[in-house]
Amino acid sequence: MQELEKAEYSSVRVTPKGEDRVIIEKDLSSEEMILNMGPQHPSTHGVLRLECKTDGEVVIEAEPYLGYLHRCFEKHAEMVDYPGVVPFVDRMDYLASMNNDFAFCIAVEKLLDIEIPRRVEFIRVIVSELNRIASHLVAIGTYAIDLGAFTPFLFCFRDREHILNLLEWTSGARMLYNYILIGGVAYDLPQGFKKRTLEFVKYFRPKALELQKLLTENEIFVKRTKGIGMMPAEVAINYGWSGPMLRGSGVDWDLRKEDAYSIYPELDFKVCVPDGKSSDIGDSLSRHLVRAMEMEQSLDIVEQCLEMMPEEEGFDPKAAIPKRIRPKAGEVYGRAENPRGELGFYIQSDGKSTKPLRCKARSSCFVNLSAMKELSLGQLIPDLVAIIGSIDIVLGEVDR
């Protein structure tokens, strides 16, 4: 009896035997704990540090700390001429270098007011869409392994190799291409490129569906992502989200349709927005589904471009490239739809120099990551991994 009376704990008290068993909860108050996640955590997809305020397992606030990969891109851009900026642009989002170059060249060409040869436009779209698929394969594969699914990771990197081989054949590089240049491209497509690319499209179509099925029908993957990291459409718009992040919140917005740049208005493709049947619109699963669906649309775009692209004998892809780029005085903002959203470049020219007076990059990754506080509020600590993976950040573009 005495032993039972002494059985008193921090949260409950057990009454003596024979009386009604009553558990009395004391007024508990726990202190907030600061938990650092990163900067070397493997699931942060780069050198990112999150300072998390937690109440037990519940996250009250997650503050991202950036700058570990800062390379002074914008200052570098002011110190070299316009063509010299392209290799630096390559290294921002190093998983989508073709798309980066495309966006920067659009901005400079807008400032120069020059016309691009039609075949060059098709080549640019083909390599950019192939790079989009390769980028999404990395996003999906690493997201799967973050949550414990190893097989999709191997499948994604196996199929990505086919794309890297095609892009290496075209440009001579596997990741940092320096291929799309101001006014043109570095080389014409190699002989046999069309045949090999169509073979890849035919091969990859069923693989893309298999990959989507492998994850979206996986009960563990769905439970780890469905309803996690919810972002309503209005809040996503206010944060300035773009790309798969914005479309994952149910907003039908794609610069390839809305801005109608290059030859995209001539192509038939859909803007991928989740229907809410297998996910809660605005959650981590929705953002994953958008990327999975976009790969199929990119295959359609590549196929159409290969069929529509004009064949020109003796074609010189550098014919429209100015020998010396000295734009008139003024300012311009050019943008393009990258795998992670809107990548834009604001450029100022003084009309005298061959170097930009000011070059400011608008990073989609940086803007998307800025909503981390909103996404993490009230989530559990393990769910932060699922949320970060769904953002698909590349720290080279965030920090610049």
User: What residues make up the domain containing 325?
Assistant: 65-399
pLDDT at 301: 94
Q: Answer yes or no: is pLDDT of 338 > 60.
A: yes
Structural domain includes residue 41: no
Does 279 map to a domain? Answer: yes
pLDDT at 75 over 50: yes
**Residue partners of 84: CB distance under 8 A and separation at least 6:** none
**Closest by Cα among 311, 356, 362, 327 to 341:** 362
The radius of gyration of the chain from alpha carbons, rounded to an integer in Å, stands at 25
Q: Give the closest residue to 389 by CA, choosing from 78, 45, 148, 26.
A: 45
Query: DSSP letters along 270-330, please?
Result: ------SSSS-TTSHHHHHHHHHHHHHHHHHHHHHHHHHSPP-TT--TTTTS-SS--PPSE
pLDDT tens for residues 339-379? 999 999 999 988 888 889 999 999 998 999 888 888 888 88
Per-residue confidence (pLDDT) for residue 37, from 0 to 100 = 84
Is 69 domain-assigned? yes
Report pLDDT for 106.
92
CATH code of residue 236: 1.10.645.10
In terms of pLDDT, which residue wins out, 180 or 43? 180
Tell me: the pLDDT tens digits for 186-221? 888 999 999 999 999 999 999 998 888 888 888 899
d(CA 383, CA 283): 12
pLDDT of amino acid 138: 93
Sorted by sequence, the CB contacts under 8 Å of residue 305 that are 6+ apart come out as 122, 125, 126, 129, 263, 267
Helix-helix angle 118-146:97-112, to 10 degrees: 140
Q: Does any domain span residue 20? A: no
Q: Is 16 domain-assigned?
A: no
Beta-strand pair 180-181/33-37: unpaired
- Whether 30 shows a pLDDT value over 80: the answer reads no
Distance of CA 398 to the CA centre of its chain: 11
Chain-centre distance for alpha carbon 62: 20
**CA nearest to 280, candidates 240, 250, 246:** 250
End-to-end CA distance of the chain: 69
User: Residue 332 domain-assigned?
Assistant: yes
Whether 395 is in a domain gets the answer yes
Inform me whether the pLDDT recorded for 383 exceeds 60.
yes
The more confidently predicted of residues 292 and 400 is 292
pLDDT score for 70: 87
Specify the number of domains making up the chain.
1
Quick one: pLDDT band at residue 33, thresholds 50, 70, 90?
confident
Residue 21 domain flag: no
Check whether 2 has a pLDDT greater than 80: no
Where residue 324 falls among pLDDT bands split at 50, 70, 90? Answer: confident
Residue 14 has pLDDT above 60, yes or no: no
| Confidence (pTM) | 0.88
Q: Is the pLDDT of residue 43 over 80?
A: no
Q: Which amino acid is at 106?
A: I
> What would the mean pLDDT of 310-327 be, rounded to a whole number?
80
